[in-house]
Amino acid sequence: MTAWAPVVAHLTSVHQLDDDRIFSKECRTLADAGFDVSLIGPAAADRTVDSVHLRAVPVPQGRLRRMTRTVWQVLASALASRARVCHFHDPELIPVGICLKLLGRRVVYDVHEDYPQKLLDKTWIPSLLRRPLALAMAAIERVAAMLFDGIVTVTPTIQARFPAAKTIRIANFPRLEEFAAVPATPYAERPFQIGYVGLLAEQRGLFDMVLAAGLVAGGQERCLRLAGAFDSPATEAASRAMPAWQRVEPLGFLDRAGVARMLGGIRAGLVLMHPVPCYIACYPIKMFEYMAAGLPVIASDFPGFREILDDGRCGRLIPPQDPAALAAAIEWVFAHPDEAAAMGERGRRRVEQLYTWQAESTKLVDLYRRLAGPTEAPSCAY
């Protein structure tokens, strides 16, 4: 019997090719399962990493060029790959998915977020156009989903919007081995710092975090570590102009090992989304990563977050957009190290039991085996 690996391709026009969900989780999982995997998207050059073939298209300059030229460059590269299954990750690639389906490919749409709802919150879109565009987006997704062979979603709320027979939820849960590979500092020996990993944006609580840092007792010591990129130059300028910025340690973008090192040296992780619909129902990967690292979590008091944190047994829940309440929660963590460490231990056990990528990955591999066929060619009898 001759080994045979079905060729599959993941497509993105928006994400970096080292994206955690797309590359580290999905593509590497499929490569480990015996598939010949390509990841196509904007990058400087082709290369192969962990048996995943990274296929570069030119990096676009500006949103308009990305949504036009880059989209069709991704399509051309997908056709050239001769992939049996094409799995795309951005709503602007829906036309690409339709083209690939009409040309005989199996197509999977990976819906990372509730895009119609997110359009309602886009400040760069004129307010009168947001609702019509959101309704149009929802209609496009419904029609396109009828054509595609599989829909992958990340939350139950998004899953409910698509046909049940072809939709599965593959949550963006952490890979536990990432945190086991980096030794953590004993909790009692850590500096009095809390941290945040992710996009630095107002609606994700950035200004609330900075204001709270200025309210925490401790004089001029830096108590807040931020890992991630700002969503805009204006947000960065406004943050750095705040008097409390002197108590912030900005770390910039960190790779996966860097994230694990950071989380192994702080006392709590922050998840402070504002109460907009697309955040109230989200499953933020940062929350599960904090828990996997054994950290207590300080989070906005949303019903979904309360459920994940076991009604506060794994962290502190506070009213959203309340810097004073956040400062009080931080001070509680600093003043009660034994109780805070116990919260972190409960969180780690909860992730190990309920929220691991290992469990989610089996659903992804099962989907691909249904769509792509066996990973070995059938033997020929004479």
- Asked if 126 and 108 count as a contact pair (C-beta separation under 8 A), the reply is no
Other C-beta atoms lying within 10 Å of the C-beta of residue 91: 20
**Scanning the structure block, which residue is given the tokens 């490919």?**
105
Q: Is 369 exposed, middle or buried (0-12, 13-18, 19+ CB in 10 A)?
A: middle
pLDDT over 70 (residue 380): no
- How does DSSP classify residue 66? I
3-state secondary structure of 310: coil
Half-sphere exposure (CA, 13 Å, Cβ side) for 143? 9
Instruction: Output the CA torsion sign for 318, 323, 328, 330.
Output: positive
Structure tokens at 256: 């996966």
Structure tokens at 208: 């609330």
Same fold across 7-173+357-372 and 176-354:
yes
| 176-354: in CATH 3.40.50.2000 | yes
3-state secondary structure of 83: coil
Predicted confidence band of residue 381 (pLDDT cuts 50, 70, 90): very low
pLDDT over 70 (residue 1): no
Q: Is 255 exposed, middle or buried (0-12, 13-18, 19+ CB in 10 A)?
A: exposed
pLDDT tens per residue across span 280-306: 888 999 999 999 999 999 999 999 999
CATH (residue range 7-173+357-372)? 3.40.50.2000
- Asked if 85 and 108 count as a contact pair (C-beta separation under 8 A), the reply is yes
**What integer pLDDT is reported at residue 365 of this predicted model?**
96
Structure tokens at 296: 């207590």
Predicted confidence band of residue 374 (pLDDT cuts 50, 70, 90): low
Sheet with 194-197, side-by-side order of all strands: 248-252, 224-227, 194-197, 269-271, 297-300, 315-318
Distance CA 75, CA 11 (A): 8
**What integer pLDDT is reported at residue 220 of this predicted model?**
65
Mean pLDDT of 199-215: 97
Query: What's the mean pLDDT when you consider all of the chain?
Result: 92
**What integer pLDDT is reported at residue 378 of this predicted model?**
34
pLDDT over 90 (residue 211): yes
Predicted confidence band of residue 377 (pLDDT cuts 50, 70, 90): very low
pLDDT over 90 (residue 325): yes
pLDDT tens per residue across span 161-189: 999 999 999 999 999 999 988 889 999 99
The answer to which of 232-236, 312-316, 373-377 has the lowest mean pLDDT is 373-377
First to last CA, the chain: 14
pLDDT tens per residue across span 228-271: 999 999 999 999 999 999 999 999 999 999 999 999 999 999 99
Structure tokens at 68: 């036009």
- Single-letter amino acid, residue 373: G
pLDDT over 60 (residue 71): yes
Distance CA 143, CA 234 (A): 37
**What integer pLDDT is reported at residue 126 of this predicted model?**
87
**What integer pLDDT is reported at residue 221 of this predicted model?**
85
Q: What is the pTM of this model?
A: 0.88
Residue of 78, 71, 114, 108 whose CA lies nearest to 93: 71
Mean pLDDT of 120-129: 83
The answer to which of 113-117, 119-123, 204-208 has the lowest mean pLDDT is 119-123
Predicted confidence band of residue 4 (pLDDT cuts 50, 70, 90): low
Sequence-ordered list of residues with C-beta below 8 angstroms from that of 229, at least 6 positions apart, any chain? 199, 200, 252, 253
Residue of 7, 49, 35 whose CA lies nearest to 256: 49
3-state secondary structure of 109: strand
Sketch the domain layout of the chain as residue ranges. 7-173+357-372, 176-354
Residue 37: φ, ψ to 5°: -110, 130
Distance CA 305, CA 270 (A): 12
